[in-house]
Structure 1
Amino acid sequence: MQSLLPFFILFCLTTVNTGYTQNEDEKAIQALMAEQEKAWSNYDLKGFMEGYWQSDSLTYYSGGRVTKGWQTTLDNYKKGYPTQKDTGTLNFKIDAITQITEDAYYVMGQYFLTLEAGDRNGTFMIIFKRIEGKWKIVADSSC
């Protein structure tokens, strides 16, 4: 029986570490989203938009409307959230980061806005693409 102990220990050591680990792309995407949380919460809408692809092809879908373009999206944020009181504090909960291709992922999750006038929460699905070596949001659907 004592001769089986080393094999049992080896078996345990080789099977314990089967948990999921994030790759570098997923870590970079999470870091970008953390920067967006900070920018939004500091009423830095332009800083928040740094995570988005600065292109007329950027697509944003929310409330049954499709918006095209980086500048249009920023302008809509400025109109919908005119003061720091309106932006409140933003927190994301990422539920899944899924690779589509070598240079694209989709991220599904939830957002939580803490506001004086009452909290707002919702869900999102964002598509990230590596553009010129940097991860950028190319499409966003938020409810």
Structure 2
Amino acid sequence: MKTLKFFLLGCVLIYSTGLKAQDTSAQLIKLMNEATVAWNKGDLDSYMALYSPKATIMLTEGRAGLKSIREMYEKYYFVDGKAKQELNYANYEVTMLDKNNAILTGIFILKANDKLKERKGTFTVIFTREANGWKILHDHSG
């Protein structure tokens, strides 16, 4: 009987851990989708709110901090406070590293318009749970 109780307790823990991971995955995907809405409205401040103040990104020159991330977006992806292209994400996959850290991978798509052709590529972001919620700690897009 004691063995059965431990078995059932183990099953409950495994099931609840799986549910928490699913909840976190859904939450991270929701955050990414909300960020695309901000981007497409030209609201770079709201888009950047997804990043941790400690965030880094991989650029061709190497790893750079949050200020460089914003400068890159302003220089290459925005003009006069508007996104040059509509942004969408697809093929999300979330891997939980532990309860406070996750890897999210997917594809980014910058929609074609009358001035620019469609651009797409893959991305990997590392999310960390901070006091004010889930934030991107590192971004590697290509």
- The answer for the alignment partner of 2:112 in structure 1 is 115
SS at match of 2:49: helix
1:73 to 64, 69, 76: 69
Measured after TM superposition, the shift of residue 27 of structure 1 is 1.5
Question: Is 1:131 paired with 2:130?
Answer: yes
Q: TM-score, normalised by structure 2?
A: 0.76
More strand by share: 2
Q: Cα 1:103–1:121, aligned 2, differ >3 Å: closer, same or farther?
A: same
CA deviations 1:46-74 (Å, max 9, x no partner) are 2111111023xx11014x23342222211
Unmatched tracts of structure 1, length 5 or more: 1-19
- The answer for the alignment partner of 1:60 in structure 2 is 57
Q: Cα 1:128–1:85, aligned 2, differ >3 Å: closer, same or farther?
A: closer
Give the percent of matched residue pairs that are identical in Structure 1 and Structure 2. Answer: 26
Q: TM-score, normalised by structure 1?
A: 0.76
- The answer for the alignment partner of 1:101 in structure 2 is 98
Unmatched tracts of structure 2, length 5 or more: 1-17
Measured after TM superposition, the shift of residue 100 of structure 1 is 0.6
